[in-house]
Structure 1
Amino acid sequence: MAATSAFYVLFLIAATFFPSTASLLQIQQADCTGRRIYIRQLPPRFNTDLLANCSAYPLFTESFCPYTANHGLGLKTHNRSQSWYRTDHLLLELLFHRRMLEYPCLSSDPSAADAIFLPYYSALDALKYLYGPEVNSSYNHGLDLHSFLRSDQPHIWSRRSGHDHFLVMARPAWDFSQPLSNDPPIWGTSFLELPEFLNVTALTFESRPWPWQEQAIPYPTSFHPPNLPLLDAWVRRVSSSKRTVLSLFAGGGGISASPNIRRSIRIECENTSSSDLHPYSKLCEVVDCSNGVCEHDPIRYMKPMLQSAFCFQPPGDTPTRRSTFDSILAGCIPVFFEDQSARSQYTWHFPEEEFGAFSVFIPKENVVYGELKIMDVLMAIPSWKVRKMRQKVVEIMPRIIYRSHRSSPGLKSKKDALDIAVEMTLKRIKARVEEVSAE
């Protein structure tokens, strides 16, 4: 793995300093006003060296080494696959870094850039604090990076005190939000609590309600098309798929005796029988994803999602779920039980005014502690409205996909999850810099 890491370092350096002819042509053709980004050159210990430790922290009893393949997309689901990979969400930082090297408005001059991207693999670096030998010093997470930013070309950082910097953190913000005062430390690191980084925009899978600098972006699915025909082919399959199951829950948990929404979903699903309600032959189905068995196996849950009209998205350890984006990819209408599961999280990718057009919201308290039956709510939705909601799900699908690097020009014309995240980050940084300058 060390040789692979060394090669990747050389690739990143070459790609950054010697862009291809196609990339140069993109830069010449693009309107880069207000969109120029400088990628900060970090020592390998902050990114590529972390890939060499992929076997040190097993995830679900296995190393994450296979999922570093294809620049973070992971291994293909099968040899002939062109779009489907066994993607691990922790590798979004690597995937994002690789895609940023193709950004059409890269700047080689930090003083001329509108934003500075930090290619720091924070979720991978956090593993030693979460599971490894430094678990009792997790308040140190990020201090080494800050020390480097302040000492190496300090003018880049000091120009705007970090307000123009952004990074991707491939875990929920809660995992980086342990109070510095905790002694002994509890779960998580204190990266987002460090005063040194309070000005930096952090793109996470799940943000907290109050810090202005945090913004939730979609979890990566396993679908990363390289061209427009492959995306269009998938959209056609999703649109034409026969939905013979009313509702689906793909996930784990819900087996404890204490009341919770997952338990209520399982009980209701287990108590339903076959249906004579056209076009559904079954009211509810469960795909058991306990112990991470679905994590890298999209085949296990994607086919049932394609056959279902609604997909349940109950909160777990935290409110958000990767399954939300898997269900949208499958054209399965998401059913939420908390606002924090999506509505108040992914505001860049799911505009609030559109939220009710592609999803269903059922307060979990009404299900767990009341007498409200989820199936009754879903069956009461007219079939014409279900079709309209599914059309909206298909319409927003490109927004939540992370396309493959080296994608075709046709596919690049459609904004994907990364494009939207970068565009909105630039707007946020501009507004913040102007606000600070006016103070």
Structure 2
Amino acid sequence: MYLASAVTRLPLFLVVVSASFWAGILYSRMPTDGAVSFALTTTHRRASRDPCVGRYVFMQELPPRFNADILAGCATTEGRWSDMCEQVSNAGLGEPLAATGPDPDGGEAAAALTGATGWYATQQFALDAIFHGRMRRYRCLTNDSSAASAVFVPFYAGFEFMLHNWGYDNETRDAASRDLARWLTRSPEWRRAAGRDHFLVAGRTAWDFQRDYIQSAQWGNRLMELDAARNMTVLVVESSMRGNDMAVPYPTYFHPRTDAQVRDWQKRIRSASRPWLMSFVGAPRPDAPRNIRSEVIAQCNGSPKCQQLRCANGATQCHAPADIIRLFRRSVFCLQPPGDSYTRRSAFDAMLAGCVPVFFHPSSAYLQYVWHLPKDHARYSVFIPEDQVRAAAGNVSFIEETLSRIPPATVREMQAEVVRLVPGLVYADPRHTLDTVKDAFDLAVQGVLRKLTDTLNN
């Protein structure tokens, strides 16, 4: 019995000895605290050597019908698109600005605004092509979608809108958007997160892509109302502030090729002479009685300290970039009342020229452009509520008096902040790469990556 008992216990004894043996071996090979620290530090160093960790973007290779073919449609003779070819030339920047002779107000020669220095007659809704071109030169672009933190979809939504919005039925207006949704949802990249890591640029206002929401059968398409698009982040020049669309700056006329060009322009506007207290560029809105444009124009007309460009039907000054930038560069404050929508390209033209913008509605800037403008809006702008302007109707000096009461030291601080913001409000020439300056494209991609990380983590 004893022998049998011993034999029965033997396997257990061996198991215990074996376990102790291997435990000793493993323990002897486990790293000490210092070794663990070294291993973690080494891993961290490897990651820190790659500046693109967490910033990789994969760009979808869409069929040309979603971008290149749409751009080629600028040559069509139908609708509103027929005269757009020059405006979307030069990688979407438009035609270079030609010198127009000396500044009649005694300032710098207008020759400073030439294509040689990065100035173009850029169409305000040309962001689709400009952003796509910048993405092609993005430093952290990857061909491995599994390594990417975001997927960029180069669909020319704004140009497609121009091609089919006027004179077509809703089915035709929506066809390209629906086609894109089908294509994307069948792609392997979509399956990873159902498109929540995707983003695209629709270089117009959000309202142009929300036909059902604005309840207008005669305007826009349903791109942003499609289920697929609701999962994506959509960059627009004016957000609806109700969904997954984010506002980024309108393209201006300046597209620098080097850091030096940016700094040189900042130096020019920092030292510019500004004889006008305020200025305005824009047309009245007689068909919109609640719009304060007419009152703003009347107050500018009634002030010897205000200058404006005539933009009524048939006027050409509003379409002359050199005239616009010259006026803003010679003004302390630039009046920016809402127009057809809350935001204006003019606000960015003004800040580009070092002019402090004056807003009359919070949606014109403060509730938008959260990646590009300071949260503390008093640092770079003046706010005069629309209701105050309406209540002051008849007092043509109300806006002038309001601006004149701002202490000179405060004005100088706002001007300095506007000049500081300039690099992040312009889109660099897509055919060149800036070195250290972060432009509007860089800030937009940075914001998208943060937003998508938060979305996926939640």
Classify the TM-score, shorter chain.
0.7 to 0.9
In the superposition, the TM-score normalised over structure 2's length comes to 0.81
Query: Is the Cα contact below 8 Å between 1:254 and 1:264 reproduced in 2?
Result: no
RMSD: 2.3
Q: How does 1:38-57 map to 2 (within 5 A)?
A: 38-56=58-76
Q: Does 1:110 align with 2:142?
A: no
Indicate the residue corresponding to 2:208 in structure 1: 175
In the other structure, the counterpart of 2:271 is 240
- Range 107-116 or range 76-85, more displaced: 76-85
User: Counterpart of 1:76?
Assistant: 96
In structure 1, which of residues 193, 196, 203 is the aligned counterpart of residue 228 of structure 2? 196
Alignment partner of 1:158 out of 164, 176, 191: 191
Distance 1:245 1:91 in 2: 31
Cα distance in 1 between the residues matched to 2:68 and 2:83: 16
- The alignment partner of 2:126 has SS state of helix
2-structure distance, mates of 1:72, 1:30: 32
- Choose which of 309, 315, 320 in structure 2 pairs with 1:287: 309
Q: CA deviation at 1:257?
A: 8.8
Residue 377 of structure 1, aligned match among 398, 402, 412: 402
**C-alpha separation in 2, matches of 1:160 and 1:294:** 49
Distance change >3 Å, CA 111–CA 256, structure 1 → 2: closer
Superposition TM-score, scaled by structure 1 size: 0.84
Q: Which amino acid aligns with 2:66?
A: F
Residue equivalent to 1:331: 354
Matched residue type, 1:68: V
Residue type of the partner of 1:349? H
- Partner Cα separation in structure 1 for residue 245 and residue 368 of structure 2: 10
Q: Does 1:368 align with 2:399?
A: no
Distance 1:57 1:266, change over 3 A: farther
Unaligned runs of 5+ in 1: 1-27, 275-282
Q: Does 1:33 align with 2:53?
A: yes
Q: What residue number does 2:239 align with?
A: 207
Equivalent residue runs for 1:223-372 within 5 Å: 223-254=254-285, 258=289, 260-272=291-303, 274=304, 283-291=305-313, 293=316, 297-353=320-376, 355-370=377-392
**Native 8 Å contact 2:277 2:331 kept in 1:** yes
Q: In the alignment, what sits opposite 2:165?
A: 130
1:87 paired to 2:112: no
Pick aligned residue for 2:249 from 202, 215, 218: 218
- 2:307 alignment partner, SS class: strand
1:66 aligned onto 2:86: yes
Q: Distance in 1 between matches of 2:285 and 2:410?
A: 30
> For residues 181 and 362 of structure 1, what CA distance do their matches in structure 2 show?
28
Matching of residues 409-428 of structure 1 within 5 Å: 411-428=434-451
> What CA distance in whole angstroms lies between the structure 1 residues aligned with 2:430 and 2:214?
42
Supply the AA of the counterpart residue of 1:385. Answer: T
Q: Deviations over 1:411-438 (max 9, x none)?
A: 4311110000001101111111111xxx
Verify: 1:145 aligned to 2:170, yes or no.
Answer: no
Q: How many residues of Structure 1 are paired with residues of Structure 2 in the alignment? A: 392
List gaps (5 residues or longer) in structure 2.
1-47, 99-113
CA contact (8 A) 2:91 2:431 kept: no
C-alpha distance 180-392 of structure 1, shift in aligned 2 (>3 A): closer
Q: Is contact 2:336-2:358 (8 Å) kept? A: yes
Q: CA deviation at 1:399?
A: 0.9
3-state DSSP of counterpart to 2:212: coil
Q: Secondary structure at the match of 2:142?
A: coil
- Report the CA distance between 1:55 and its aligned residue: 3.1
% of aligned pairs identical?
Answer: 36
User: Does residue 387 of the first structure (1) align with residue 419 of the second (2)?
Assistant: no
Matched-pair contact (CA < 8 Å) for 1:129–1:136:
no
- 3-state SS of paired residue (1:218): coil
CA distance in 2, matches of 1:378, 1:226: 36
Rg: which structure is higher?
Answer: 2
